[in-house]
Structure 1
Amino acid sequence: MKSFATMELKGIKTNGENVQGNGRIFSKITFLLFIGFSSTLLSQVRQTDTLKLSRQHYEELFLKQNLLLLAETYKINQAEAMVLQAKLWPNPNLTIEEVNLWATDKQLSYLDEPLPQVFGNVAQNTQFAVQLEQQIVTARKRKKQMDVEKVGVKVAEQEFEELLRNLKYEFRNTLTELQYLQLYNRVFLEQRDLIRNLLNAYKRQLENDHISKGEYMRLQTLQLEVSKEINELSKAKNDAEKELKVLLSITGPASLFVLEEDFTPNLQNLQNLDMLNLEQDFLRYRPDVKLAELENEYFKSLLTYEKSQAIPDINLNASYDRGGGVWPSFFGFGLSIDLPVFNRNQGAIAHAQMGIENTTYLSNDLRLRARAEFDQNYKDFRAALTFYESIDPDFETDLDEIFESYTKNFVNRNISLLQYLDFQEAYLENKRIILEAKKEIHLQLERLQYTVGTEI
């Protein structure tokens, strides 16, 4: 099983030599995808006040347009650029010094013979010295620093995975909440329309003195209660839409509507989940666990690099001195090296060693917490699934039919207003329970997928 981030990252991994070119290509592809998909979306938003998509299509839009995900991909390119930087040799150093820009007659009188020109009429009787120096990096420091930076690339990739994991969890739960609110709001909208029709009929009967004003007022009170509930649900829907628009990078007044065909859970698929295999190896999917392991790997690579830093580099130099010594023109060669008497990089080595110990404990703690989370969330998921399975598949349909029958009997005055209101209250409560049971399946499944770190 591969998460989306793993598949996406395959497209942007680069070797050190090609990181700049590939990074630019990836940036262009990402930009074109963003522009192309955004233009399609914007045209749809302009044509309608409501964007109606399925959960799957909303998620595709989220993966292509979320600005945080797009920004995070550049961190991988940045990390790969640091691998390239670590591979480079130090630049040679050129020094020109001891140049006399002019010479007086008195100074020239001390010379046994004048200094000749260097070329043409340039630099006659001019003293100068030139030195070229190159640092030779010892103890394979460049390779060891590259190893450190390569761990940084892996860390950037896992940070992308972790960001995607968190954003998908937030996005899907918000999508579920919006879907739930839409469906629950529709129940109250249907009730409001029904009560309006009843009020119109009761108003005529009130005018003919067939019913008491108290019954009519009770229906008006019920209509007010239903309208208040619709208003509260509308505000909650607006809040969920606001969160989704940020995650989808959508601006403008258009409303979001989630098609409801995939809100009812597929029990057969949920019952066939292979939890045994997931429990055995789910830790290798968790980006946060991988990050903790990479922190440990980073300090191990850093320790190797810091130990190599205790071995001094060598500086080779070649110099030319004109008119500054015994000979009018002098070529010389030399080398320089730091003597590791006081500074043998002890502090940096100790820092890396302590980092290894620290990250080992933290990684083990995170593994224990992840396993405890898996056990708890799996139990919660099974409990939600068991409760939903206990609801008769035909119960909701039967509930709608019985409520319709109660309404007809109430209109025909076969049952009292009190009986009708009691059943309506039970009807609304059971509708809420059914919708919340479906919502809980989605939430618990997402929590379990978040704990596992991959799609299940």
Structure 2
Amino acid sequence: MSLKIVHVLLLLIFTAGLGKENKAFAQNIAGDTLRITIKEAEGRFLKNNLSLLAAQYQIDHEMAEIITASLFNNPEIGFENILYNPDTRKFFDMSYDGGQYTGLISQLFQTAGKRNKNIQLAKIGARQAGYEFFDLLRTLKYTLRTNFNKIYFQQASLDVYDQEISSLSTTLAAFKKQYAAGNIAQHELLRIQSQLYALQTEKNELQEDIDAAQYEFKLLIRVDPKIRILPMVGVLQPVKEKLAQVPYKLLLDSAYNNRYDLKLAKGNVAYSDLNLRLQQAMAVPDITVSLTYDKYGSTVRDYTGLGINIPLPLFNRNQGAIKQAKIAIQSSKNNLERQQDEMESEIDQSFQAAFRLEKLEESFDPGFKNDFNHLIEEVTKNYQKRNLSLLEFLDFYDSYKTNVVQYNELQMNRMNSLEQLNFVTGTQFFNK
């Protein structure tokens, strides 16, 4: 067999390999595969995610604390009866002439607005639980959307590896026969083997990244781990949103208004302020009012008395708790300032990263991937005319793979940079 015939056979094998790979991929997605859009994924996430459900229970727990803080102290009632009366020689003597017993009822009244302050603290605690819930929602939603993008774009890159590996594997089998027949040189066979092994190694690394993203994504929406996720986003195309459409000041203002972790930090300051007032109020003694009845034990028969008990704040005036509350105020204020500084830095860094990726994407030619079929035809014609060598022909496929993978990675990074801006501002400005 002449070398020219081998070249033609190579082209047929490449074309057949691509067709077989596409058919195999279509059959694969017909199995245990969940085709899902980002909106459907978010719906499953909100309904099924266990972390969100646990956070909702925490809100209910804090709401119950408001009920507890609103309750008044229970009154206390006491009764005392004589154990043994030596005059009548009776145990538990309750007779009119010889019996003796005492009754007491008392009620504690909190002073200095302690009850109202406790109610307000419980309400702040409930709001804080709500802020924690929505901040958790913001974080998990960001993870969900970035993993969705990662699975989609890396799977698109993986398809290219599958196509080339399938084609090269078929080509390698054919070349081994031709090498055994003495029709091709050994270095050509080794060149194909080397490229095939390199592609398989790269594919394995990419597959590990996809598996990690699939694992986390399936946990978030809570589906069977054996199911394969297939993101549905329509035709692959450049990101349409431009940063210029959203002014930087709007991003910053939105973060100050919508970041729940910042609201949580502000709530901590309010909680600390109110807690200081509560601890200062705790230094004011509470009053216990009591009503007593004593049948025989007092100077008069059937004694009734009204009593008031007030502790004297001579030694314990809650000094330690008041000092701790003052320290907590300063600490919460410092934490708020730190969080504001971090937030502004995050927005600036995320904006600059998204801006660089936007410019880089604009420099790429999106028509490269769309025109691949036309390029294949041209390269094939030149290879048939012996204008291209085998190595040049294989290098074209390698260049195509590199460009597609790089472009997919750029698209993924670009979309995730916008998701990062959504995350740091607490607002869905992009990728709606």
1:157-306 pair list within 5 angstroms: 157-199=130-172, 202=175, 206=179, 209-261=182-234, 264-268=237-241, 271-306=244-279
1:387 Cα deviation (Å)?
0.7
Distance, in Å, in 2 between the alignment partners of 1:381 and 1:448 is 8
1:234/1:404 CA distance change after superposition, 3 Å: farther
**Aligned partners of 1:79 and 1:152 also within 8 Å:** yes
- 1:431 counterpart (390, 394, 404): 404
Aligned residue in 1 for 2:335: 362
Deviates more, 1:252-261 or 1:71-80: 252-261
1:204/1:358 CA distance change after superposition, 3 Å: closer
Letter in 1 for 2:388: I
Aligned residue in 2 for 1:7: none
**Aligned partners of 2:154 and 2:408 also within 8 Å:** no
Letter in 2 for 1:60: G
Letter in 2 for 1:85: T
Aligned residue in 1 for 2:287: 314
- 1:100 counterpart (82, 94, 99): 82
Alignment of 1:455 onto 2:428: yes
Show CA shifts across 1:213-268 (max 9, x none).
43234324333332333333223322222222222223342222222427644324
Aligned residue in 2 for 1:55: 38
Aligned residue in 2 for 1:66: 49
Distance, in Å, in 2 between the alignment partners of 1:238 and 1:447 is 22
1:68-87 pair list within 5 angstroms: 68-87=51-70
Distance, in Å, in 2 between the alignment partners of 1:215 and 1:281 is 60
- Consecutive unaligned residues of structure 2, counting only runs of 5 or more, are 1-29
**Aligned partners of 1:177 and 1:240 also within 8 Å:** yes
1:270 Cα deviation (Å)?
5.3
Identical aligned pairs, as a percentage?
Answer: 30
Distance, in Å, in 2 between the alignment partners of 1:136 and 1:279 is 49
Distance, in Å, in 1 between the alignment partners of 2:235 and 2:376 is 25
RMSD over aligned Cα atoms: 2.6
Alignment of 1:378 onto 2:342: no
Aligned positions, number: 398
Alignment of 1:135 onto 2:108: yes
Distance, in Å, in 1 between the alignment partners of 2:69 and 2:350 is 44
1:269 Cα deviation (Å)?
5.7
1:335-354 pair list within 5 angstroms: 335-354=308-327
**Aligned partners of 1:179 and 1:258 also within 8 Å:** yes
Aligned residue in 2 for 1:10: none
Paired residue secondary structure (2:317): coil
1:191/1:246 CA distance change after superposition, 3 Å: same
Aligned residue in 2 for 1:32: none
Distance, in Å, in 2 between the alignment partners of 1:125 and 1:264 is 101
Distance, in Å, in 2 between the alignment partners of 1:54 and 1:410 is 42
1:116/1:206 CA distance change after superposition, 3 Å: closer
Paired residue secondary structure (1:317): strand
1:336 Cα deviation (Å)?
0.7
Paired residue secondary structure (1:235): helix
1:154/1:282 CA distance change after superposition, 3 Å: same
